[in-house]
Amino acid sequence: MLIAVISGFIFALVIPLIMGWLKPKSTIWVAILPFSIFGFFLSKLPLIMAGETLKISYQWVPSIGVNLDFNLDGLSFLFVLLISGIGTLVFIYTSAYLKGHHYLDRFYGYLSMFMASMLGLVLSDNIYTLFIFWELTSISSFFLIGFNNDNPASRKSAITALAVTGIGGLFLMAAMVGLGQITGVYQISALAPLAKSIQSNSLYGWVLFFLFIAAFTKSAQFPFHFWLPGAMKAPTPVSTYLHSATMVKAGIYLLARFTPILGNHEWWNSTLIIVGAITMTYAAIHSLFRLDLKGILAYSTISALGILVFLIGLGTKEALLAASVFILVHALYKATLFLVTGIIDHETGTRDIRQLGGLNKVMLPVGIAAMLAAISNAGIPPSFGFLGKDLIYDATLGMGDIAWLLTGLAIFTNAALLFAGFLAGIKPFVGKLPDKFKKIHLPGPAMYVPPLLLGVLGIVFGLAPGLIEGSIIKPAVQAVTGTTPDFHLKLWHGFNLIIILSALTMGSGTILYFLLKPSEGLLSKVTRFEKASPQSIIFAIANSFVALGRHWTRFFQNGYLRYYLITILAFLSILLGYRFFTGVELYVDTAKLTEVTLYEAIVILIMASAIFFTVFSKSRLTAVASLGVVGYSFCMIFLFYSAPDLAMTQFSIDTLTVILFVLVLYNLPRYLVLPDNNDKIRDGMLALVFGALISVLTLEVMNESVTKEISEYYAKNAYILGKGKNVVNVILVDFRGFDTMVEITVLAIAAIGVFGLLKLHLKSTEKE
């Protein structure tokens, strides 16, 4: 199982190398990878049907609970089949859709990286690896949305999507850390029995809040939904795969996965119902007025995700069953519609719904696929969608007091979805064929077979629900609810209320389809409300953040070394001064101080005169040389107090510093001309204050009782453990060798920086 997950990452690395060697016609063979993963997981079917789970664990960083734990249960099984199955079709489709594209290798690399991260996400049994794979899906999605990177709109959408889902990822991390704090358990499958203690913990509210933000950003729930329509800038296979069938369902997966652990609580249910209901109706209304095929599909996807959140929020057995079925229903028909849209776009060059029509005459198989998907989407019997819709009504009707409100919302949403499905799946193919599209021909089978297959499956599962009932749906529901479910999927339950509601949905949706003609005017009426939409508000916040950052940087990072120094010293002086005046009793024990020897007095005298020269000399070189004298005098003091190591190092460093100074100053004017005396006085005051404070601090430190444990340990063990008599050196190269290693790396980086900055001879046009 680990290989199945990892292979995608390896493939992503290898594909750019082998792509040049692969002939353009044979790129279709890359689909072998997702197909074999699909086959591998399908071979585990008997295991899953028996209600068992497949667990694999690899130790990674056991000390902080991060392990590569994978657990294949019913819910994961449903998702891995979707990921690898639709993945196979998308891989095949891409080989034709992007045939001969310059960066096809990159595209497949990103795609298989995404597939691997998504598989890892739904298989992870460890809360930290879950987070890692979650972030990896965001990152691969970023690359795929921005695939047409010469288009500024693509880049902007990619960044928006990354920002929204990335923030969600951080919230997921917070939620997971919270869970770890409460329980001390990092295995998801081991958390369910602890549900009671988690829900009574005071941190429960926070965990829930963080988890919800993560799920809502990923699954494009209101008010974070806006990144998804933007993400449609990606090539159509990406929209199919990531933004309708799999990645956006990661949030749904997360909620479903944590239902047995965090669910069945008032906060959980009401939040999800409210957010889900708002999202599904809001997006359904929006989908009515779009003109771009992909825009319609994007909003109807958001709406469908809203339904799923809503169903998980209801939390009853019926609702969770409906959610499991609807995940599959939606993946099948929405992927088909997206693939069909891609074909239309590819062949006609437009996605504008007003211009399209009559395409059945030129590409019948595509039309059939689209129609099947539209039927399943509309929930017309005998499609799989009909089954899904029935289950949704069944779930909402069982909700007691608010049953009719919820059912009403569901009917409205479903009617709007039906409208959107007809608009995308039927309207482009019926009616009169415009003259300009007469020359269009059917694309190759690699493009139309995948949607046709998915469309047919949407009907087959409806006619024979037994195919998936025991194998996929039951284990999934079992994984979410924690109990063995007893239900039977069938098309016809007899004539009852649900059938009437279903007919009502179909009727109103169809009427809507014939009455409402999409037009520019209607669209502009809807977009007028954009100013108050969550997207504008969040963008405004983001922009003001950037503006604040710009001002902040301009103020502090002004580029003048002298102001940096002033800021640093003034800040430290204020901090130290404040501390000294509030609560530190200044006390110097004169008895502890040793006598001043003659040598020391002489060195101090040299130092004082050197400082005098530094400050008052008009020549820069004299000032630097005098500073060197101060440094050497320090070495003497180190020597007096028996620290030859320090003295030696200080001596070398000082020599080199003076050399460096001289080199730099060589080109500056030889004599200092200070503009005015006020600056001098200000700098002098600051220097005196800071120096005085540091002196006081040094004297005070001597009063502190020193803990000698560490230095004693080093002194004692330097020879025993490090085989050295020079304790300082043993610390450097042995006890704290890792620090030294990092330090020399930093040194090297600094040198490369200096080299790069000074050797960089930019042309005048390249300078900002």
Partner 1 sequence: MKTLIFKTASVYLLPLLLLFSIFILLRGHYLPGGGFVGGLMASIAFVIHSFANGIEKTKNIMTIHPGFLMPIGLLLALASGALPLFFGEPFLTGLWMENAVPVIGLIGTALFFDTGVYLVVIGVTLTIIFTISEGL
Q: Between 47 and 733, whose beta carbon lies closer to partner 1?
A: 733
* Minimum separation from the CB atom of position 737 to partner 1 (A): 5
Q: Between 663 and 710, whose beta carbon lies closer to partner 1?
A: 663
The window from 127-135, 334-342, 649-657, 703-711 that contacts partner 1 (CB under 8 A) reads 649-657
Q: Between 725 and 763, whose beta carbon lies closer to partner 1?
A: 725
Structure tokens at 41: 């997981």
Q: Between 444 and 644, whose beta carbon lies closer to partner 1?
A: 644
Cα–Cα distance, 19 to 737 (Å, whole number): 44
Binding partner 1 (rule: CB under 8 A), the pick from 435, 710, 738, 765 is: 738
Question: CB–CB of 55/70 below 8 Å?
Answer: yes
Q: Between 666 and 713, whose beta carbon lies closer to partner 1?
A: 666
* Minimum separation from the CB atom of position 701 to partner 1 (A): 25
Could you tell me how far CA 200 lies from the centroid of its own chain? 30
Question: CB–CB of 409/285 below 8 Å?
Answer: no
The window from 350-358, 457-465, 554-562, 657-665 that contacts partner 1 (CB under 8 A) reads 657-665
Q: For the chain, first and last CA: distance in Å?
A: 52
Binding partner 1 (rule: CB under 8 A), the pick from 524, 655, 703, 711 is: 655
Q: Between 513 and 714, whose beta carbon lies closer to partner 1?
A: 714
Question: Does position 737 bind partner 1 by CB under 8 A?
Answer: yes
Cα–Cα distance, 83 to 75 (Å, whole number): 12
Q: Between 52 and 645, whose beta carbon lies closer to partner 1?
A: 645
For residue 147, give every residue at least 6 positions away whose Cβ sits within 8 Å of its Cβ, in sequence order, or none: 103, 106, 107, 110, 154, 234, 235, 238
Q: Between 145 and 658, whose beta carbon lies closer to partner 1?
A: 658
The window from 71-79, 162-170, 324-332, 641-649 that contacts partner 1 (CB under 8 A) reads 641-649
Per-residue CA distances from 245 to 71, 86, 130, 345 (Å): 22, 8, 19, 20
Tokens 């933000």 -> residue? 213
Question: Does position 61 bind partner 1 by CB under 8 A?
Answer: no
Question: CB–CB of 144/239 below 8 Å?
Answer: no
561-565 contacts at long range (C-beta below 8 A, 24 or more positions apart): 562/683
* Minimum separation from the CB atom of position 749 to partner 1 (A): 9
Question: Does position 637 bind partner 1 by CB under 8 A?
Answer: no
- In the 8-state DSSP scheme, what is residue 56? E
Question: Does position 649 bind partner 1 by CB under 8 A?
Answer: yes
Q: Between 152 and 756, whose beta carbon lies closer to partner 1?
A: 756
Binding partner 1 (rule: CB under 8 A), the pick from 644, 679, 684, 715 is: 644
* Minimum separation from the CB atom of position 664 to partner 1 (A): 6
Beta bridge partners of 126: 187
* Minimum separation from the CB atom of position 128 to partner 1 (A): 23
Q: Between 637 and 733, whose beta carbon lies closer to partner 1?
A: 733
Question: CB–CB of 107/98 below 8 Å?
Answer: yes
Q: Between 560 and 738, whose beta carbon lies closer to partner 1?
A: 738
Q: Between 316 and 717, whose beta carbon lies closer to partner 1?
A: 717
Q: Between 545 and 755, whose beta carbon lies closer to partner 1?
A: 755
The window from 3-11, 50-58, 428-436, 652-660 that contacts partner 1 (CB under 8 A) reads 652-660
For the chain, helix, strand, coil in percent to 5 are 75, 5, 20
Three-state DSSP class for 67? strand
* Minimum separation from the CB atom of position 622 to partner 1 (A): 17
The window from 61-69, 322-330, 407-415, 737-745 that contacts partner 1 (CB under 8 A) reads 737-745
Binding partner 1 (rule: CB under 8 A), the pick from 52, 469, 600, 645 is: 645
Question: Does position 584 bind partner 1 by CB under 8 A?
Answer: no
Binding partner 1 (rule: CB under 8 A), the pick from 652, 695, 703, 711 is: 652
* Minimum separation from the CB atom of position 600 to partner 1 (A): 21
Cα–Cα distance, 93 to 246 (Å, whole number): 16
Structure tokens at 225: 């939904």
- The angle, 0 to 180 degrees and rounded to 10, between the axes of the packed helices 620-640 and 598-616 is 160
Residue 705 — left, alpha, or beta (φ > 0 → left; ψ -120 to 50 → alpha)?
Answer: beta
Closest CA to 10 of 80, 130, 112: 112
Binding partner 1 (rule: CB under 8 A), the pick from 13, 364, 537, 656 is: 656
* Residues within window 670-729 making contact with partner 1, judged by CB under 8 A: 721-726, 728-729
Q: Between 584 and 747, whose beta carbon lies closer to partner 1?
A: 747
* Minimum separation from the CB atom of position 657 to partner 1 (A): 11
Structure tokens at 693: 């404070």
Binding partner 1 (rule: CB under 8 A), the pick from 196, 592, 759, 767 is: 759
Q: How many residues bind partner 1 (CB under 8 A)?
A: 41
Question: Does position 741 bind partner 1 by CB under 8 A?
Answer: yes
Three-state DSSP class for 232? coil
Residue 196 exposed, middle or buried by CB count within 10 Å (0-12, 13-18, 19+): exposed
Structure tokens at 480: 């979410």
Q: Between 13 and 749, whose beta carbon lies closer to partner 1?
A: 749
Three-state DSSP class for 66? strand
Question: Does position 591 bind partner 1 by CB under 8 A?
Answer: no
Closest CA to 71 of 59, 83, 54, 58: 54
Binding partner 1 (rule: CB under 8 A), the pick from 666, 695, 702, 712 is: 666
* Minimum separation from the CB atom of position 733 to partner 1 (A): 4
* Minimum separation from the CB atom of position 630 to partner 1 (A): 19
Binding partner 1 (rule: CB under 8 A), the pick from 404, 552, 612, 755 is: 755
* Minimum separation from the CB atom of position 728 to partner 1 (A): 7
Would you call the peptide bond into 365 cis, given omega within 30 degrees of 0 as the criterion?
no
Question: Does position 557 bind partner 1 by CB under 8 A?
Answer: no
Cα–Cα distance, 471 to 279 (Å, whole number): 31
* Minimum separation from the CB atom of position 192 to partner 1 (A): 37
Structure tokens at 218: 């990923």
Question: How many helices, marked H, and strands, marked E, lie in the chain?
Answer: 32, 2
Cα–Cα distance, 220 to 223 (Å, whole number): 8
Question: CB–CB of 234/167 below 8 Å?
Answer: no
Q: What type of residue sits at position 228? A: L
The window from 10-18, 88-96, 643-651, 677-685 that contacts partner 1 (CB under 8 A) reads 643-651
Would you call the peptide bond into 229 cis, given omega within 30 degrees of 0 as the criterion?
no
Closest CA to 271 of 322, 228, 207: 207
CA 609-623-639 angle, to 5 degrees, is 55
Three-state DSSP class for 641? coil
Question: Does position 514 bind partner 1 by CB under 8 A?
Answer: no
Cα–Cα distance, 536 to 33 (Å, whole number): 41
* Minimum separation from the CB atom of position 735 to partner 1 (A): 9
Structure tokens at 32: 């072998």
Binding partner 1 (rule: CB under 8 A), the pick from 615, 660, 672, 681 is: 660
* Minimum separation from the CB atom of position 722 to partner 1 (A): 6
Given the rule CB under 8 A, which residues bind partner 1?
644-645, 648-649, 652-653, 655-656, 659-660, 663-664, 666-667, 721-726, 728-730, 732-734, 737-738, 740-741, 744-745, 747-748, 750-752, 754-755, 758-759
